[in-house]
Structure 1
């Protein structure tokens, strides 16, 4: 049914999340990443608030990110073991490209924060779709770092939240399809 990958709908049906630890180069170059992010911001945005931001973490900044994550983790969990610290280091260095996505709701707006947060999620999904359309694989991760105030403060303000770390690259192996919900389980017609 969706064999023609050139079809936009087929493209959406073939998008999969990749594991950042399994991503290899190449990742998007500066121009490709610009085009991907330009597509990401074309989402529903009630009130035209742009309640999201993206922060690109360049390859030459990954060691600094690892230091930030390690320091913040140790401050919260002084009893952290070697494997936990190594996980912070690995997280910072996986995949060729990294974009930190922030939910940045506009305070005092008549648009509910929930709608603004949904727009941030939509922007990340557009980023992933644009990466896939550009021939890359993306992975959207949260985890401990997304909920750390110290990590958040390095990328944004106390009024923002890290919506996710979006890793981009090329798959190192064939992407596996994961189980999807049965259509009938998640879709129904409303009847009064």
Structure 2
């Protein structure tokens, strides 16, 4: 998750319409959420870009919104409250993964490249997934773009797949879109 003070929730909310043009959350949810009663952990929830659409989608499920920045968790849970989404719970998790009930899916959208110790996070997430669970990552392609993180901290699909496998995950599918992103669907071995 980005370092404390790394992002401003208001700035993220203001940029959300533009972000949706490149990465529409609603169209990606069926890639990793298979039933409406599942439990999702949105690790690095930010201001709720994926959390809120996922909570709408999971009408009989639950979404745990985790972020190291308490402002992000507050922004996300306030959005959920305003939209009448009682299935969102927020947790501040500063580089650690709190003990939660096993989840059907974990989402890490544009988070992996910002983690201090991404391999340790993957190892901690592994036992939080049900045996049939899914880990879904969205990352920036390691190519120059006008927006996004510095090129030096981006990780390519093959390197990410190798790190997932080293942490006990099996890559089930690689999506090479929408540009300038790619997505990886993995599960516990």
Same-fold status (TM-score > 0.5): no
Q: Could you say which structure has the higher helix fraction?
A: 1
Larger radius of gyration: 1
TM-score, normalised with respect to structure 1: 0.27
Q: Could you say which structure has the higher strand fraction?
A: 2
